[in-house]
Amino acid sequence: MAVFRTTLKAAALLAGLLSAGPALAAGPTVPLPDVRFSFDGIFGTYDRAAAQRGFQVYKETCAACHAMRQLSYRNLREIGLSEAEVRAIAATVMVMDGPNDEGQMFERPARPSDRFRSPFPNEQAARAANNGAYPPDLSVITKAREGGARYIYALLTGYTDPPEGVELMEGMYYNAYFPGHQIAMAPPLNEGQIEFHDGTQATVEQMARDLTTFLAWAAEPELEQRKRMGVRVLIFLTILGGLTYAVKRRVWSDLH
Amino acid sequence: MATGPHTSEFKNPVVRWIDARLPVFTLMQKEYGTFPTPRNFNYFWNFGALAMVTLVIMIATGIFLSMHYTPHVHYAFDSVERIMRDVNYGWLLRYVHMNGASMFFIVVFIHIWRGLYYGSYKAPRELLWMLGVVIFLLMMATAFMGYVLPWGQMSFWGATVITNLFSAIPLIGPDIVVWLWGGFSVDNPTLNRFFSLHYLLPFVIVGVVFLHIAALHVTGSNNPLGIDPKGPQDTIPFHPYYTIKDSVGLVVYFMVFAVLVFFMPNYLGHPDNYIPANPLVTPPHIVPEWYFLPFYAILRAVPDKLGGVVLMFASIGVLFVLPWLDTSPVRSMRFRPVARIFLLLWTVSFFVLMWVGAKPAEGIYITIARLATAYYFLYFLVILPLLGRLERPLPLPESIALPVLRGGGPLPAGAMSKPMEKA
Ligand code: HEM
């Protein structure tokens, strides 16, 4: 009886949750391709090699337009780059520092503790360089779009010719997954544009998948720790729940 | 010298010394130890304790978040991201706080529904119920202002839409809005005061919760049968019986909470709130947090702005007068076969409103929202007052102990009950 009621209550809680969640999702217009990632599921982790390749694509392609200002170079240690590699990567970038003792601002090579350098000083400059369109900061992009990582992958692989009868506006490109289908970003990925350090073939799908892994890590660097802790917490609570319920039965047994 | 003005029963000399001068131990013993509680609670009676635990969790996580959060339009978004990345277990603090708000509303919705089903709002618990509605209002204000703090797109535009509602007030409306904003749009002064109030209101809630509990301990708890305890055989001491039963509920509650926090922390949120606020870019759909959707749907169901605002506030205001709208002397819906159906329909209308509140206000959705809104009010304003007179309730059991001791099954109708007991 009591067990039955508990189940009922849990069901009520869940029903409340589940009915609320989807209610929020106005939903993307086109169903997303069913891709799987290493970080899916309750035991998911980031594929380090993929994330490193993804960073390489970001650095060599996307960084020309998109900032990632929540990240520092030192964070790259988390996807498996060595201290020396991170130093070397940072050192290729010049950042503004100062004022020095003479009150002057000056440029110096970046250190691991510096934030990723942004390609534009402000939104206006970014728009001016992109026909008025704004390339968003990519630090938390997988959390900032309906569909998450799956949407980002779909977007990057979703460029096609416009269907019959669709007139593209000046400077716009057709993308199957972008809301409204007309996007101001030219297809950023082209077969073979990157020479991966590890020799992986740079197909569009490969680059998109690697980039998505990298961007998902950038948005949720705590994901592995979070899921690991979650599994442990749930195991602990299950045991505690069993014990508590047993004690409850004992305490109540003298009443019936 | 163990005797003071108050004669303490405690053996431990330190406890006894304090208790004689300030009888807090006697108080705790009386209110949470031996407190006579109906013996027939079901698990719906867990939710008050769950709400209290959640309030404590919100305050604890909130205080630690505030140590790292910066209430400034240029830094708020980044400071929250910094909490997520650079503060030790900051992601845990923030996800617990963020999902804790949702859990708080789930718990309180169930807690309120329990009151509706078992008639806990009826005499002599009217004031207890009204204090609960005050807590609910304060929670909504707190959560609304909290949601503004991370300064994402939904923070900004939600704040803009909701504060703008006050402009519907005739004559002084526009001035009130400027006063609320501290300027001519939602901007830094607004963010600053929202942070201040968001920190303050939970402590006001603690105060009202205290009154809520004080009132409860005067009238005693209601129970699933809705009849008053007739004697000691109907009650049991709160401890250990209900402390342990609440603990069972608490662990189950933590499991649901943990699934949200650790495996789907952003499921109940809106992705747009991870886009920094931009006053120049309006999101295509501005939707409030899920727990506001039913009330948002009522707001938009009315074509007139002022009318919508009035109706939205009325949807909660009506709860204040509910004890006088429901004219039936029978508390528990177990014995009100007709009213029970109407209450279940009301529950459906509430979920329909929640669903339609997230849809664009156009076409068929408007019609659905209007029908559900109409029924929401019809239940309180027409159905309940009439049913008290028209409905013939089932016979009430003689006492709590009888059916419980017989195994809790349904009573043979009429066998040992008198019809229409004045509960
Ligand atoms: C009634 C209890 C409370 C409720 C319902 C509540 C609700 C919320 C909500 C919905 C958010 C937005 C979460 C997000 O999307 O990031 C938030 C943020 C915040 N709250 Fe609370 N809160 C409560 C108590 C408190 C208290 C007592 C404090 C401070 C002592 C506090 C401090 C903060 C801070 C600093 C933030 C911004 C950080 C963030 O957005 O994660 N809260 N709150």
Opening angle at CA B229, ends B224 and B234, nearest 5:
90
DSSP state of A32: P
Residue with tokens 């698990």, as numbered in its chain: B43
What is this model's ipTM?
Answer: 0.90
Ligand 1 neighbours (beta carbon < 6 A): B 55, 58-59, 62-63, 65-66, 69, 80, 94, 97-98, 101, 104, 139, 142-143, 146-147, 149-150, 198-199, 202, 205
How many Å apart are CA B199 and CA B66, to the nearest integer?
9
Tens-place pLDDT, residues A58-73: 999 999 999 999 999 9
Whether the CB-CB separation of B159 and B289 falls below 8 Å is answered with no
User: pTM for the full model?
Assistant: 0.91
Give residue B412's pLDDT. 44
Tens-place pLDDT, residues A242-253: 999 999 999 999
Q: By three-state DSSP, how is residue A106 classified?
A: strand
How many Å apart are CA B119 and CA B335, to the nearest integer?
11
pLDDT band, residue A27 (cuts 50/70/90): very low
Is the confidence at residue A45, as pLDDT, over 70? yes
Of A1, A234, A251, the CB nearest to B408: A1
B104, B108, B274, B347, best to mutate vs chain A, most A CBs in 10 Å? B274
Domains recognised in chain A with CATH numbers = 2-255 (1.10.760.10)
Give residue A30's pLDDT. 80
Catalytic hit among B221, B315, B328, B332? B221
- Chain A residue at shortest CA distance from B262: A230
Q: By three-state DSSP, how is residue A244 classified?
A: helix
- Residues of chain A contacting B110 with CB distance shorter than 8 Å: 12-13, 16
CA distances from A237 to A254, B99, B247, B259 (A): 27, 18, 12, 11
Q: By three-state DSSP, how is residue B130 classified?
A: helix
- Residue B245 annotated to the active site: yes
Tens-place pLDDT, residues A188-229: 999 999 999 999 999 999 999 999 999 999 999 999 999 999
CB pairs under 8 A between A and B: 136
Walk along chain B (423 residues) and give the pLDDT tens digit of each residue. 445 578 888 999 999 999 999 999 999 998 889 999 999 999 999 999 999 999 999 999 999 999 999 999 999 999 999 999 999 999 999 999 999 999 999 999 999 999 999 999 999 999 999 999 999 999 999 999 999 999 999 999 999 999 999 999 999 999 999 999 999 999 999 999 999 999 999 999 999 999 999 999 999 999 999 999 999 999 999 999 999 999 999 999 999 999 999 999 999 999 999 999 999 999 999 999 999 999 999 999 999 999 999 999 999 999 999 999 999 999 999 999 999 999 999 999 999 999 999 999 999 999 999 999 999 999 999 999 999 999 999 999 999 987 655 554 444 444 344 444 433
